[in-house]
Structure 1
Amino acid sequence: MRDTQTQRTSPLALAASALGLTFGAPAWADDAAERLTERLEPLESYQATFEQQILDGSGDRLQSARGEMWLARPGMLRWEVDAPYSQTVVSDGDDVYMYDPDLEQVTVQEMDDRVTHTPALLLSGSVDELTENYEVFHEQDGGDDVFTLVPISADTLFEELSMVFEGETLSELWMMDSTGQRTSITFSNITLNGYIATDMFDFEIPEGTDVIREGL
């Protein structure tokens, strides 16, 4: 696999593109949604390190990133990219802050439906809303359970999202956007339902930072 020229991508965009899987009878959907609900309902918090790859439609790597994430229901997320560029996304359940320290810029958005369709934030939301807004399919791959979500509405940041579970633990996300660009996020050092201090989801805008407010 060859590297192409590295381009900077916003954190929400990094958390939004996917893999297309082919499935058979759509009658699987109800059973698949029930199985996915059984996996996600017990999830109250999730902490992990991640490795992320963005691939173009030909499978060539466009960008790599790594970092750490913390997630708690309802609607709270901290997503920190450590390398190659430092970027942070924080959701306190009401607003989402996207901070780029190199640009000294933070974008603030309300937690509207489009923002919550970002994969990481989608995981922190209601399971009922998830199964109402996506058609869910399931297959097994080498002992792992793979659930693929296809949005019912066109107003999403991805066309397909696949969640890979090793046993009861979410280990990987695959996404594809409308251009065919795919994003793979692999999680490790995972802690399920551990204690996460609430101030982890607070964001204080650094002095001298340019603030862009969208929808506020």
Structure 2
Amino acid sequence: MRDTQVRRSSSLALAASALGLTLSAPAAWANEAAERLTAKLDPLQNYQASFEQRILDSSGQRLQSAQGEMWLSRPGMLRWEVEAPYAQTVVSDGSEVYLYDPDLEQVTVQAMDNRVTHTPALLLSGSASDLTESYDVFYEQEAGNDVFTLIPVSADTLFEELSMVFDSETLTELWMTDSTGQQTAIAFNGITQNGNIPSERFRFDIPEGADVIRER
């Protein structure tokens, strides 16, 4: 579904670049897209799902895949557990982000700054108003789904483009494209929105004996 949109967007951007043009949406369209996205995200207090994550090269060939589960609670809390092929856990408690690699017995701890929160899953845990202030938002419908494409206003981000796909009011896919054209595609299933997630889910206890790296 998303491959056609990616090729179309890339071709349009390339043509505009060749002509020395800068693409921008009319203000009314951009505002309407942002309002539509805000209406989708504002009621979302928490979110739980299984996921499949695929990393694709610029030609669409699969480089890597992983499966796992995620829990998200706004504002700022996330638990992201990759189960296969290599276990990894990311936990945000709203002030710090913990990245745990059990194979390396290593925990990396980062403060919740702007760059960290620009990762796709953590980006969803923030407020809708912050999101629409930090990104130009574009909207279209594809195969009955609502697709929102976010282009960062600032250059200091981890991706060039992020797309959110909604089936009615439910987020079902995330697509991220970086500066090399590599894509990360995340498909969600078994989704529960605004259910009951215990607060302990967003607490991370550093395992005994693990090496701890604190990034500042």
Q: Is TM-score (shorter-chain normalized) higher than 0.5?
A: yes
Shift of 1:60: 1.3
Deviates more, 1:39-48 or 1:55-64: 55-64
In structure 1, the residue matched to 2:42 is 41
Shift of 1:58: 1.4
One-letter amino acid of the counterpart of residue 174, structure 1? W
What are the superposed Cα offsets for residues 130-157 of structure 1, whole Å, 9 maximum, x if unpaired? 0000000000001000000000000111
SS of residue paired to 1:211: strand
Q: TM-score, normalised by structure 2?
A: 0.89
Greater radius of gyration (CA): 2
What are the superposed Cα offsets for residues 9-52 of structure 1, whole Å, 9 maximum, x if unpaired? xxxxxxxxxx5763886022110000000000000000000001
One-letter amino acid of the counterpart of residue 203, structure 2? D
Q: CA RMSD in A?
A: 1.3
SS of residue paired to 2:68: strand
Shift of 1:53: 0.6
Residues 117 and 20 of structure 1: CA distance in aligned 2, closer, same or farther (over 3 Å):
farther
In structure 1, the residue matched to 2:62 is 61
State the alpha-carbon separation in 1 of the partners of residues 102 and 118 from structure 2: 25
SS of residue paired to 2:63: strand
In structure 2, the residue matched to 1:178 is 179
Structure 2: gaps (5+ residues): 1-5, 13-22
Q: TM-score, normalised by structure 1?
A: 0.89
State the alpha-carbon separation in 2 of the partners of residues 126 and 133 from structure 1: 11
SS of residue paired to 1:39: helix
Whether the 8 Å contact between 1:162 and 1:173 is mirrored in structure 2 is: yes
One-letter amino acid of the counterpart of residue 26, structure 1? A
SS of residue paired to 2:66: strand
Whether the 8 Å contact between 1:20 and 1:160 is mirrored in structure 2 is: no
Whether the 8 Å contact between 1:21 and 1:148 is mirrored in structure 2 is: no
State the alpha-carbon separation in 1 of the partners of residues 24 and 202 from structure 2: 41
SS of residue paired to 1:122: helix
State the alpha-carbon separation in 2 of the partners of residues 113 and 78 from structure 1: 18
State the alpha-carbon separation in 2 of the partners of residues 68 and 21 from structure 1: 31
In structure 2, the residue matched to 1:26 is 25
In structure 2, the residue matched to 1:146 is 147
In structure 2, the residue matched to 1:78 is 79
Identity of aligned residues (%): 70
Residues 42 and 76 of structure 1: CA distance in aligned 2, closer, same or farther (over 3 Å):
same
State the alpha-carbon separation in 2 of the partners of residues 120 and 21 from structure 1: 25
State the alpha-carbon separation in 2 of the partners of residues 206 and 50 from structure 1: 25
1:125 aligns with 2:123: no
State the alpha-carbon separation in 1 of the partners of residues 25 and 84 from structure 2: 40
Residues 171 and 211 of structure 1: CA distance in aligned 2, closer, same or farther (over 3 Å):
same
What are the superposed Cα offsets for residues 83-137 of structure 1, whole Å, 9 maximum, x if unpaired? 0000000000000000000010010000001001111001000111100000000
One-letter amino acid of the counterpart of residue 188, structure 1? N
